[in-house]
Amino acid sequence: MLALALGVFATSCGRGDTDVSRAGALCGVPGLSGTVSGLVPGAISGCGVERAVRLEAVHGVRLSQPATLDCPTARSLGRWVRKSAQPEVGRMGGGLAGLRVPAHYACRSRNHQSGARISEHGKGRAIDIAALQLRDGSEISVLDDWGKGQKGRILRRVHRDACGPFGTVLGPESDRYHRDHFHFDTARHRGGPYCR
């Protein structure tokens, strides 16, 4: 009876069993934690998420704020955390505890520029990461640590490793809009991932 009720709930939110597994894992991936949001309508044409989730943690790594994303983006973040961010941080500061997230879903144009195309943020396909938060309370900050010592080397490697799981990866060397964070999105480009 409970399984039937969960199936009805998942279907009513626009979810199929590829998005919510039998074990209750978010987006069918054990280790992704949060809730199913369903349809998130956009305030302007081109915005909105048909099948949104509210992601709160990835493989035990907490997000500083819950992120509204589609499942492909949540799964890409999960792969990046598990295969790059956690191993690269290693035991520094007791290990990776969280991700400081300054932006996720927002119905807006690219870089908030008037007349620009709708950002991938406006489609639930993007997340910004400003820092890797460590268990001892310290951070590896994109703004403060990029290009500096061991923390800077970790940031360069996790930035590089995001290219592939994500279709677009932008950081401090891409443009002035990304000097203080990484932008990851799951847009697909004809020539392969766009990483700067």
How many Å apart are CA 149 and CA 18, to the nearest integer? 42
SS3 state at 132: strand
How many Å apart are CA 20 and CA 71, to the nearest integer? 10
Query: Residues of 116-140 as b/e, b for ≥16 C-beta within 10 angstroms?
Result: eebbbbbbbbbbbbbbbbbeeeebb
Question: Count of CB atoms within 10 A of residue 109's CB?
Answer: 17
Q: Which pLDDT score, from 0 to 100, does residue 74 have? A: 98
Q: Which pLDDT score, from 0 to 100, does residue 42 have? A: 86
More confident residue, 189 or 173: 173
What are the φ and ψ backbone dihedral angles of 160, each rounded to 5 degrees? Answer: -60, -45
| pLDDT tens-place string over residues 115-162 | 668 889 999 999 999 999 999 999 999 999 999 999 999 999 999 999
| pLDDT tens-place string over residues 2-41 | 333 333 333 334 444 344 444 568 999 999 999 999 999 9
What are the φ and ψ backbone dihedral angles of 106, each rounded to 5 degrees? Answer: -155, 125
Helices assigned H by DSSP within 90-168? 142-145, 149-161
Q: Mean pLDDT throughout 71-77? A: 98
Q: Letter for the amino acid at 187?
A: A
Please report which confidence band the pLDDT of residue 52 belongs to, taking 50, 70 and 90 as the band edges. very high
Placement of tokens 């961010």 in the chain: 85
Residue count (the chain): 196
* Alpha carbon of residue 129 to chain centroid: 8
Q: Residue 111: pLDDT above 90?
A: no
Q: Which pLDDT score, from 0 to 100, does residue 139 have? A: 98
Q: Which pLDDT score, from 0 to 100, does residue 190 have? A: 83
- Enumerate residues 6+ apart whose C-beta is below 8 A from 9: 36
